[in-house]
Chains A and B, each alone.
Chain A
């Protein structure tokens, strides 16, 4: 292998690693705030990419139907829990009003927007923003419907719920988008070369977007009150509740962020890869491998793990392309062995 190939593979690896890093961040965030292992992350990757693709081919983004449906369900769940608590406290009218706006009116507004504007001609950034406007509320609603009612359950019960949600969303994805995959327009045709190495504009965009998102997340957690509230919840749920941080709100915010990051990851890979309704799961699991390198707790280690996964994948696709996935997923065994040896004491459940 000469230096040229080596460099191209490295560039590929870092580009994919940047996407995995985004996913790993989201997974660590959701796990530390809610103790939920967020397997449905993968569906957001596929749903995001396919929705942008639909907008670009001037089809109606059918994901909105799912948003409307789950919106109705969420409203019913909130209404139900308000009615059940009626004996102890009066109906929270304002909260229910908000629930109507968020879960019933907002999805219809999105539906109207999708119908009334010509999305095909819009710049890609606007298309992605509109996609986020569908997927982020979807993530929040899913937390509200499936996870919030049993937020105090054990990690393993939450994991099984997570798998259930993954199944349900995957099946709905098949129904909504069909079995065919799509690609989206390229971000840019621009390219350059660094010495001998050709640098594609696509890679630059992916790395820049991923890098700046990680920077933004850092600022969010470090500088804003919301971010600090999330961190406090991650450190100690009870303690956070006692100082007035709503852990349900923290959970919703974590899910919103994770859904958004998943969607962005999907749109970042879609120009180069055909993305189908079920592509995301395997991609998200690579994010998981990275997050596990960080013990599901450390952001910098998770990011390092993501780069490792990306590079491993790109070099193994050169030497043993058929075994690419096998190698990436088997990485988890030595990683866990290493964690097992260094951690010493097992945690109590």
Chain B
């Protein structure tokens, strides 16, 4: 469950700002500096791994790119460290965009493997290149200074590092709490749901990979000017793995887990490095045994890291409040949100013409033909395995048709992907609900409003998107009221009953402003009362001029609700007509009840 723990978060963060002014030994300041540097990298990993669902072991390599770029520019070329910062960000960003673009289309585990190989390869490169000083590295890097003020002392650098961390934190928190942020959160659920909301998943994956690399690069820049020398070792694969461990220990799904993880791991490491050699009687980095065992145990007991536990304890004293709240009255400009013009009642909107889908030798959908007119509720029914879901996938663009054509409002859609189809005005729900369980109902529904806004990630991170954000949230809240879920507006979606989750998906689909709504077995698993409520909702939508295609199993449910039924068996249409006709159609009865041999 996602909880607002704002006070705790800023207390934790604020304490680190007070820290350097305390009369603490210099060694503590050094540790504090490293915690800050590591937190910046771990924060990128939280965004990438915990929230976006992509894992990277290669962040240390990006830290290295940032550090070596500024080291080379400021020593060999004698340029200002501030040029080094910009150059480092550009180099890391481009490298990340390249690697991201070749891996994000592959299934999840190829990216981490690529980052391992990439991390090693860069490490060897740092250690081999002549002008980077081979394994000795580069030294004599100048300290940072701003307007002639020297920032070289560790206590001052502490301020710089934590200022940078604070900036990154603010940008990431802003970003996550926005339209692009919801798109990023949707990524963790695979590809189908976000694409059906019009979210370009590949682009967003590359985006978070680049953002994580930029943060790593910033950390590397700070490191180079703090340490005043760089060599290959701190940018090796093992450090990359430790960064990921920090994020996992702290809580990889939580922004504040990054700092917590960096504190725990850095503190533990410095203690272990003092004690283990004494205990074991020989020198070496034995702390990795403890780290390895700790990670395995942690993942066995709780996949979510330490932060939720800390936040849970805190929540006992300070009850959480919802973080994302929709405005109570329509915000300015809400009525200007573009809305689709409804086709005239009775106009042809969906034509399926000889559509066929073949998987190898299996013909799942065989030359299906039917049509839907504006304002109609059509039921697509048939026994298990009749090809209903495949037909549904053809219309929504999850699968391309093998032959035949499907037209929506006159335009062919049979070869378009689901992202483009939703843009044209076909909204959908899923047979197995696709929600982000720990986000509130409001945030989940607002994912459907993705195409109704256009604010960029940069604008969102800088809080320039608030007008639009208010409009989108109001829109989402309105759909929630429309489907009757308003009392659950701020409940985590995962804690709703299954029936309510299905209703939530309809609200989300309504946010896309559809002309045609496709519902995949919306009544499955619902109790009688819930079914009645759902039927009322569909009637109400029909009253508003919406066309609906229901794929259903439950005969009673569709009988009273639909204008027309299309019956499928073995991939073909066996009957079509008014519900009353279908009830007495012999072919349908044979299909459902088993024919007389």
Contact = CB atoms under 8 A, between A and B. Distances in A.
Interface of A: 37, 146, 149-150, 153, 155-157, 159-161, 163-172, 174-175, 178-179, 282, 285, 288-289, 292, 296, 322-323, 325-326, 329-330, 332-333, 336-337, 339-340, 343, 346-349
B299 A329 contact: no
A163 B113 contact: no
Contacts of A332: 113-114, 117-118
Contacts of A166: 292
B191 A348 contact: yes
> Which of B98, B299, B300 has the most chain A CB atoms closer than 10 A to its own CB?
B299
B486 to A, nearest CB: 33
Contacts of B248: 160
Nearest to A324: B124
Interface stretch (B101-109, B314-322, B323-331): B101-109
B387 interface: no
Contact of B299 (A160, A337, A347): A160
19 contacts: A159-B112, A160-B55, A160-B299, A161-B295, A161-B296, A163-B244, A163-B292, A164-B293, A164-B295, A168-B289, A170-B292, A282-B120, A288-B116, A288-B117, A292-B113, A325-B121, A326-B128, A336-B110, A339-B106
Contacts of B288: 167-168, 170-171
Contact of B124 (A172, A329, A343): A329
A329 to B, nearest CB: 4
B282 A164 contact: no
B105 A160 contact: no
Given A156-B55, A332-B114, A343-B106, A167 B292 contact: yes
Contact of B118 (A157, A164, A333, A340): A333
Given A155-B108, A174-B285, A348-B190, A333 B299 contact: no
Contacts of A336: 102-103, 106, 110, 114
A125 B528 CA distance: 72
> Which of A156, A332, A337 has the most chain B CB atoms closer than 10 A to its own CB?
A332
B121 A329 contact: yes
Contacts of B117: 285, 288-289, 329-330, 332
A336 B248 CA distance: 26
> Which of B99, B116, B125 has the most chain A CB atoms closer than 10 A to its own CB?
B116
Nearest to B53: A349
> Which of A37, A164, A168, A292 has the most chain B CB atoms closer than 10 A to its own CB?
A164
Given A168-B292, A175-B286, 20 more contacts: A155-B109, A156-B109, A160-B244, A161-B295, A161-B296, A163-B57, A163-B241, A168-B288, A168-B291, A170-B288, A174-B285, A175-B282, A329-B118, A329-B120, A329-B124, A332-B113, A336-B103, A337-B102, A340-B103, A346-B104
Contacts of A167: 241, 288-289, 291-292, 295
B497 interface: no
A340 B206 CA distance: 14
B411 to A, nearest CB: 23
Contacts of A156: 49, 53, 55, 108-109, 112
B415 interface: no
B258 to A, nearest CB: 16
Contacts of A161: 295-296, 299
B104 to A, nearest CB: 8
B192 interface: yes
B438 interface: no
Interface in B196-220: none
The majority secondary structure among interface residues of chain A is helix
A347 B295 contact: no
B594 interface: no
Interface in B293-318: 293-296, 299-300, 303
B22 interface: no
B593 interface: no
A167 B120 CA distance: 16
B105 to A, nearest CB: 5
A176 B592 CA distance: 69
A100 B595 CA distance: 60
B280 interface: yes
Chain B interface extent, by class:
35 or more
Contacts of B360: none
Nearest 9 pairs of A and B residues by beta carbon: A168-B292, A167-B292, A171-B289, A347-B107, A164-B295, A329-B121, A337-B102, A332-B117, A171-B288
A167 B288 CA distance: 5
Interface string B269-293: 0000000000010101111111111
A159 B55 contact: yes
B280 A175 contact: yes
Interface of B: 49, 53, 55, 57, 98-99, 102-110, 112-114, 116-118, 120-121, 124-125, 128, 190-192, 241, 244-245, 248, 280, 282, 284-296, 299-300, 303
Given A163-B244, A171-B289, A332-B114, A146 B296 contact: yes
> Which of B108, B191, B244 has the most chain A CB atoms closer than 10 A to its own CB?
B108
A146 B293 CA distance: 9
B296 A164 contact: yes
A171 B128 CA distance: 26
B113 A346 contact: no
A333 B107 CA distance: 15
> Which of A150, A170, A325, A346 has the most chain B CB atoms closer than 10 A to its own CB?
A346
A169 B294 CA distance: 13
Contacts of A289: 117
B107 A346 contact: yes
Contacts of B99: 333
A164 B291 contact: yes
Contact of B286 (A37, A160, A171, A348): A171
Contacts of B289: 167-168, 171-172, 175
B522 to A, nearest CB: 22
Given A167-B241, A175-B286, A346 B106 contact: yes
Contacts of B300: 149-150
Contacts of B284: 171, 174-175, 179
B106 A285 contact: no
Contacts of B55: 156, 159-160
A160 B242 CA distance: 11
A18 to B, nearest CB: 21
Nearest to A340: B105
A349 B295 contact: no
A349 B244 contact: no
B106 A37 contact: no
A326 B106 contact: no
Contacts of A329: 117-118, 120-121, 124
Contacts of A170: 288, 292
Nearest to A322: B128
A100 B542 CA distance: 69
Contacts of B192: 348
Nearest to A278: B238
Contacts of A282: 120
Contacts of A160: 55, 244, 248, 295, 299
Contacts of A146: 296
B191 A346 contact: yes
A169 B299 contact: no
B191 A163 contact: no
A37 B241 CA distance: 15
A163 B300 CA distance: 14
Contacts of A37: 109, 112-113
A340 B116 CA distance: 18
B128 A323 contact: yes
B282 A171 contact: no
B299 to A, nearest CB: 6
A339 B124 CA distance: 25
Nearest to B109: A155
Nearest to A147: B296
B8 to A, nearest CB: 27
Contacts of A330: 117-118, 121
Nearest to A178: B282
